[in-house]
Structure 1
Amino acid sequence: MEKPTHPDTEFGPMTSAIVRLARAHRALTGQLVGEVGLRPEQGAFMMHLWSVGPVRQTALASHFGKDSAATTRAVQRLEHAGFVRRRSDPLDGRATLVEPTAAGDALRSRVEEMWDRLEHIVTDGLSADDRAVALPLIQKMGDVLLSRLTTESARTLNEV
């Protein structure tokens, strides 16, 4: 029996749905944070920096599951745009801290509003009951996938 060739089931129905969701989410995230000149990962980095304050660049990479080269590129772009600065960690001069600048802080309310808009768009059309069921399932699926990643897989994932 021939397998269906419909694009929505090319990889299996669950995987196809997840791929479609991830692509749409990333595209919409890019569209929204692009309004202030950021890329999706840069918006996420800024949200994290605003939340926790200055952080070691290695901790930033670890938090987002990125390798050091990908993190360095993202931080350099933010630094070049004037939104973050890097400085030596006073506790360990070999380490680098990343922190928002005044220009970066000036973006905060707009970026936070965009993440709020994205959250509302993502859940638009879902009842409170649907959201209560969907969130733990999505979290569980994410946990399972992340637990299966090898270092090489994680490195490849970060290059996409």
Structure 2
Amino acid sequence: MKADSTAPADPACAEALPSAARGGPVSHAVSRIARLHRIAAGRLLKGLGLYPGQELLMMHLWDGGAVRQSELIKAVDLDPSTVTKMLQRLDQAGHVSRRPDPDDRRAVLVEATEDSCGLHASVRSAWSSLEEHTLAGLDPAERAELARLLAKVEANLCQETDGCPGAG
């Protein structure tokens, strides 16, 4: 009996990668991993009252102190409207304050508030939990090798863009 060539392929026989991704299996894996990592981070951050990405803004402010909003936008390499919305939410939650820059009244200075100090420890704990969950089953040598390889991948991608202002 001749097989019907118009019948859909048996999903059990289909390859794991979509046909268009077969030329880039590592890129496909990185994309899937980044999505899953963001979801996992979002779950942890939700318990802290944060949305994904806000913790990165806070990390920059905790470590760097007051900075112009325009410089913060460059440092995190996000769309200005996205950063503005994030800062509005963080301001409403009492984690950041914004004020005119005394050296240039057109510019806005952003800084972490003293009230955000407790959030700092919670974010550090959340990221530690995320790290352990993400790397479960990898021994220290494998973790170091993964970090080394990802740094090389990042360097490659930085060469293809306008640089990596948020790297490091």
Q: Same fold (TM over 0.5)?
A: yes
Which deviates more, 126-135 or 141-150?
A: 141-150
1:14 is the counterpart of 2:26: yes
The alignment status of 1:45 with 2:57, answered yes or no, reads: yes
Moved more, 135-144 or 16-25: 135-144
Q: Is the 8 A contact 1:8 1:17 kept in 2?
A: no
Task: Please give the TM-score of this superposition, normalised by the length of structure 1.
Answer: 0.82
Residues of 2 paired with 1:132 and 1:82: CA distance?
Answer: 37
Q: Which amino acid aligns with 2:143?
A: R
**Quick one: structure 1 residues 141 and 54, their matched pair in 2 at CA, closer, same or farther if it must change by over 3 Å?**
same
Displacement of 1:9 in angstroms is 6.9
Structure number with larger C-alpha Rg: 2
- On the 8 A contact 2:96/2:112 being kept in 1, the answer is yes
Q: Where do 1:1-160 residues align within 5 Å?
A: 5-7=15-17, 11=21, 12-149=24-161
Determine the C-alpha separation between the residues in 2 that align with 1:10 and 1:131.
Answer: 30
Unaligned runs of at least 5 residues, structure 1: 151-160
User: Between Structure 1 and Structure 2, how many residues are aligned?
Assistant: 149
Structure 1: 4+ residue segments shifted above 3 A: 7-10
The match for 1:156 is none
Q: Deviations over 1:34-58 (max 9, x none)?
A: 1111011111111221111111111
Per-residue CA distance 1:64-109 (angstroms, 9 max, x = gap): 1112222111111111222111011223222211112233223121
> Which is worse superposed, 25-34 or 132-141?
132-141
| Structure 2: runs of 5+ lacking an equivalent | 1-13, 163-168
- Report the 3-state secondary structure (helix = DSSP H, G, I; strand = E; otherwise coil) of the residue aligned with 1:40: coil
TM (normalized to structure 2)?
A: 0.79
Assess if the C-alpha contact under 8 Å between 2:17 and 2:25 holds in 1. Answer: no
CA distance in 1, matches of 2:53, 2:109: 18
Identity of aligned residues (%): 37
Aligned to 1:157: none
The 1-side partners of 2:19 and 2:31 are apart by 11
What residue is the counterpart of 2:7 in the other structure? none
